[in-house]
């Protein structure tokens, strides 16, 4: 199985901050990776697909980059509605696997 | 746009079979190229992908659950289903259905395994 190591597991940030979350794959996964945002009590919502493509309707402050084994999700200017938990998902090979999640909290 | 909705019992007895259905609206599950997945989330924990059924009917299950899981589809009703047998308290979770690589997701349904 491909292991997805996501870091950090949590962080505190302020509105307006730039933040970066990283996922590392235990083996190369090309660009077969998505990023998801989950708010409490809600289903996850995809933000980024194919590692760097912005999902329709998602604000442009979200961006993704990377290929192979290292991937990043960047929020250029954190907004109040962005406080949530973020996950990566690799679908390069089965079983598809998620990162452990990054909880973004208000500082 | 495609929407998904899970349905099924919220309480299952230990050792019984958990059965959930995902109803797809705004699209056909037989349309080419789509994976229809089940994913679960234990209380306060991360996401675990359970498996999928492809539009062709092919299935794949995560190895840790493979011996207990069946995913099937009823194309005529635009529904796909999850059956998880011999459940224990460790199977208590919110169960989600989703299309392809998680876009979109259903709202999720909490299933509690308890007597």
- Report the share of chain A in percent with pLDDT over 90: 98
Q: Give percent helix, percent strand, percent coil of chain A, each to the nearest 5.
A: 5, 50, 50
In percent, how much of chain A has pLDDT > 70?
Answer: 100
User: What's the token pair of residue A36?
Assistant: 């998801």
The pLDDT averaged over each successive group of 10 residues in chain A (107 residues) is 98 97 98 98 98 98 98 97 97 97 95
pLDDT digits (tens, 9 = 90+) for A79-99: 999 999 999 999 999 999 999
pLDDT computed for residue B30 by the predictor:
84
- CB-based contact, A64 to chain B, within 8 Å: no
pLDDT for residue B33: 78
Which residues, in sequence order, are CB contacts of B20 under 8 Å at separation 6+? B6, B7, B8, B38, B81, B82, B95, B97, B109, B111
Closest partner residue to B107 (CB to CB) among A34, A43, A96 is A43
Identify from B47, B65, B106 which residue to disrupt to test chain A contact, counting A C-beta atoms within 10 A and taking the largest count.
Answer: B47
| Both structure tokens of B86 | 């011999």
From A6, which residue of chain B is nearest by alpha-carbon distance?
Answer: B46
Which residues, numbered 72 to 101 in chain A, qualify as contacts with chain B under a Cβ-Cβ cut-off of 8 Å? Answer: 87, 89, 91, 94-101
Give the pLDDT of residue B14. Answer: 98
């Amino acid at each position: 199985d491909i292991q997805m190591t996501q870091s950090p597991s949590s962080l505190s940030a302020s509105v307006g901050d730039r933040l970066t979350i990283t996922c590392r794959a235990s083996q190369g996964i090309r660009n077969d990776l998505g990023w998801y945002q989950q708010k409490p009590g809600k289903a996850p919502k995809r933000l980024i697909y194919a590692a760097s493509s912005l999902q329709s309707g998602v604000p442009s402050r979200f961006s993704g980059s990377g290929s192979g084994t290292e991937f990043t999700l960047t929020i250029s200017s954190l907004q109040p509605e962005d406080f949530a938990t973020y996950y990566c998902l690799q679908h390069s090979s089965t079983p598809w696997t998620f990162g452990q999640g990054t909880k973004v909290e208000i500082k | 746009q495609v929407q998904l909705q899970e349905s099924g019992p919220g309480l299952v007895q230990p050792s019984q079979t958990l059965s959930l259905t995902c109803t797809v609206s705004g699209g056909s599950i037989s349309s080419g190229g789509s994976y229809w997945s089940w994913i679960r989330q234990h209380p306060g924990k991360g996401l675990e992908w359970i498996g999928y059924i492809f539009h062709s009917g092919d299935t794949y299950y995560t190895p840790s659950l493979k011996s207990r899981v069946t995913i099937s589809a009823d194309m005529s009703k635009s529904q796909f289903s999850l059956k998880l047998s011999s459940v224990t308290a460790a199977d208590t979770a919110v169960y989600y259905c989703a299309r392809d690589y998680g876009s979109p997701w259903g709202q999720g349904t909490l299933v509690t395994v308890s007597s």
